[in-house]
A and B are shown apart, each in its own frame.
Chain A
Amino acid sequence: MGNSQSKIRVLIAKAGLDGHDRGAKVVARALRDAGMEVIYTGLRQTPEMITEAALQEDVHVVGLSILSGAHMTLVPKILKLLNEQGLEDIKLFLGGIIPDEDKSELTKLGVNGIYGPGTSTQTIIEDIQQACQ
């Protein structure tokens, strides 16, 4: 048989009700150019939809984009659902507008990385590569 090959698979999802997905698309494109397989799911994903897609796609990483301010509701719910489905190995990364005072709480809950506006895509790529080693 040919050589076995494995790629980092990442699900990029826009959770919640805001309709601004440029950031998610920029990150998706950058991860693609870094050699990852990026599954882009589009706007207005519920925690249930994100978990289901993560399970079906067997991803290593879920990248969430949240600009609506609902992160303290959505993130714990997604982490809980991922655990319930036996997907606790999946690394969760978060991008968007996340106030500093929420960051330590989210990290404690199990978020691997939080990225605000102005983050270089290279930082995100390196963090994901490191988390998937």
Chain B
Amino acid sequence: MPVIHAKAILNGERLALSRALTQVENNTAEGLNILEALFPHTGKAHLIGVTGAPGTGKSTLVNQLALAYRQPKDGLTPPRVAIVAVDPTSPFSGGALLGDRVRMQDLAGDPGIFIRSMASRGSLGGLAAATAGLVQVFDAAGFDIVIVETVGAGQAEVNIARLAHSTIVIEAPGLGDEIQTIKAGILEIADILVVNKSDKPGAENTLRGLRNMLSLALPDGNHVDHHGQIMELENEEDSSENGWIPHVLPTVATSGEGILDLVNSLTAHYEYLKSSGLWQVREKKRLKNQLETLLGSALRSRWEKRIAPDIYQAALAQVINRELSPWRAVEELISGAGL
């Protein structure tokens, strides 16, 4: 396999890009070299996360979103769009069926679009360990918009919010009552809440439930709920995360209804992040999160290299026989590796 040159990726060579994505996904030494070389060129793309329960229409919505972004507007060149679609790896076989492309066939043949499917490979939280790396390769390769579609998410798969600038959470009608909307977790991470399949019965209830949920969460100090109207208070010192009220939008992704509103909301959120200084705050959080994740896995693999397998097996046997507590075993295994 020939060496992949970072320059070829920066020049937009698609084969080099694709091969680089594989090296990064497989966490090879070459993949690390590529990331290293590309890192100075990252930080420009608008990273959009799309998450939601299985079957709510994530892939179909991403398809429409990418189509909408690729429509030329006002004679401007449309942005280039990369899509990273994550599907789950089987915990039994290690294999995966990646089926998101089935819903993205409208995007075929457009050189301004690049779709890459990836398997979660054992990671929890809705993304794969290498997703952040793939996103950085696309960013450096000059894609203006990078859309990350997560594994079909339950309530706690919230890692996407640490990766994306703008997070879309997709709901569908009929998935639960109002109590579901005030639980912690996935709804909290939304910058934009989409009720897809809004032509189905119950969509009005879902929309109302989500709007009510937001009116409970607010006022936050900057806003008051005054007879159903959210009013912004003037407050100069506080420029925290609270200045954005999540948009709640109905869509029908199969027909494209509501997609333009979604694009407008994303643009508004992008401009809000830029003008409020939150863009830098999120970048900082994102890179900190990436650094900590890398540090965690580096420490673990260093530990794995240092600890003798028989010491580990002996400790495990002692724990199983209830001769040693798991907490004590961890202490001994870490000090046993000289860490």
Contacts and interface: CB of A to CB of B under 8 A. Distances in A.
B90 interface: yes
Given A35-B95, A48-B108, A55 B21 contact: no
Nearest to A25: B97
Interface in A20-37: 28-29, 31-37
B159 interface: no
Contacts of A86: 15
B102 A57 contact: no
B97 A29 contact: yes
B109 A49 contact: yes
B336 interface: no
Interface residues of B, number: 38
Nearest to B18: A58
Given A32-B90, A35-B94, A52 B15 contact: no
Contact of B101 (A32, A48, A53): A53
Interface stretch (B247-255, B293-301, B320-328): B293-301
Contact of B119 (A37, A41, A46): A37
B27 interface: yes
A2 B108 contact: no
Nearest to B119: A37
B119 A1 contact: no
Contacts of B286: none
Nearest to B95: A32
B303 to A, nearest CB: 11
A1 to B, nearest CB: 6
A3 B95 contact: no
Contacts of B282: none
A31 B94 CA distance: 11
Interface in A47-65: 48-49, 52-53, 55-58
Interface string B137-175: 000000000000000000000000000000000000000
A109 to B, nearest CB: 22
Interface string B101-115: 110010011000011
A75 B301 CA distance: 45
A73 interface: no
B93 A40 contact: no
B93 A57 contact: no
Interface stretch (A4-12, A99-107, A113-121): A4-12
Contact of B90 (A33, A39, A46): A33
A15 interface: no
Given A52-B108, A85-B15, A38 B96 contact: yes
B114 A56 contact: yes
Contacts of B19: 58
B114 A34 contact: no
B162 to A, nearest CB: 19
A19 interface: no
Nearest to B27: A4
Interface string B285-310: 00000000010011011000000000
Contacts of A69: none
Contacts of B28: 4, 6
Contacts of B18: 55-58
A37 B98 contact: yes
Interface of A: 1-7, 28-29, 31-42, 46, 48-49, 52-53, 55-58, 85-87
Interface of B: 14-15, 18-19, 21-22, 26-29, 31-32, 89-90, 93-99, 101-102, 105, 108-109, 114-117, 119, 121, 129, 294, 297-298, 300-301
Q: Which 10 A-B pairs have the closest CB atoms?
A: A42-B102, A32-B95, A58-B18, A35-B94, A49-B108, A4-B27, A58-B22, A35-B95, A4-B28, A6-B26
